[in-house]
Structure formats: C-alpha cells, structure tokens
C-alpha cells in the first residue's frame, strides 16, 4: 500500500506539492509514482529562475524501466532544485516526500493549488 500524506496536494499524474511556511511550494512525486517507476536513475529538473506554468511538463524522471514526464502543479518561478538527486537519484525511491523532493517554486498565485487534488481525492483515484 502506498503512503499518501494528508498535508499535500496532488495531481492525477502523481506529482505532490507542499506549501512551506514562507509561502513557497515544494514539488516531488508520490510514493505510488516512485513504486510504479521502479529504480530511479536520473531526474531532469527545470533551471533555477525558470518560469513554469501549471499543467505543463517541467521535469523528467527516468527509472531503469522508462522515462516519465513531470507536470507543474502550480505556476511560478523555480527558486531551488534538489541537487542531491544528481548523485543519488535513488533518494526519490527511498524518501519520495522528504529528501526526494524535486524543486521549489515561488508561486504566482498560491490559490492556484486549489485546482489540485487533496489527499482524499488522490487516494480515491489510486483505488480506482
């Protein structure tokens, strides 16, 4: 059974978003996503400073098995990427919600996250 965290927002394509205390948003992929992908060997994040748009493809995660597109849960500016993933991409498998985060965004409008799924809706989707 995959872990779902109640404080996060999700996309149906299995990205999560967490609103930090300073109003920035951290983005990663769910436990279910890392499990489906299998051993992650490469993560291609957007550049720091890049403007990203909700719903558009912004990153790629590659497992041994396949490459998978990552979509932006929110629009804004990328302010930090998780550089530790470059040497240890397997962190995405070991800790998808904590150390395995992908990048942080300064959102244009935080309210935009209202369009994303809450944990219950995401869980329902996984059950289907």
Interface contacts to other proteins, rule CB under 8 A: 36, 38-39, 41-42, 44, 60, 62-65, 67, 86
Please, what is the minimum distance in Å from the beta carbon of residue 109 to other proteins?
Answer: 28
Over the Cα atoms of the chain, what is R_g? 13
Q: Which CB atom, from 28 or from 89, has the smaller least distance to other proteins?
A: 89
Please, what is the minimum distance in Å from the beta carbon of residue 47 to other proteins?
Answer: 12
User: Three-state SS for 123?
Assistant: helix
Strand partners, 119: none
Q: Which CB atom, from 5 or from 42, has the smaller least distance to other proteins?
A: 42
Four-residue CA torsion sign, 126, 34, 3, 18? negative
């Amino acid at each position: 059974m995959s872990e779902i965290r109640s404080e996060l927002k999700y996309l149906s394509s299995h990205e999560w978003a967490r609103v930090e205390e300073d109003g920035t948003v951290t983005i990663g992929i769910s436990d279910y996503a890392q499990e489906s992908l299998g051993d992650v060997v490469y993560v291609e994040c957007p550049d720091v400073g890049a403007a990203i748009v909700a719903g558009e493809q912004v990153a790629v995660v590659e497992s041994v098995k396949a490459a998978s597109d990552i979509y932006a849960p929110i629009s804004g500016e990328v302010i930090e990427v998780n550089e530790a993933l470059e040497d240890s991409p397997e962190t995405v498998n070991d800790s998808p919600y904590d150390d395995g985060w992908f990048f942080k965004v300064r959102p244009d409008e935080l309210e935009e996250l209202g369009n994303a799924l809450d944990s219950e809706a995401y869980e329902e989707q996984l059950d289907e």
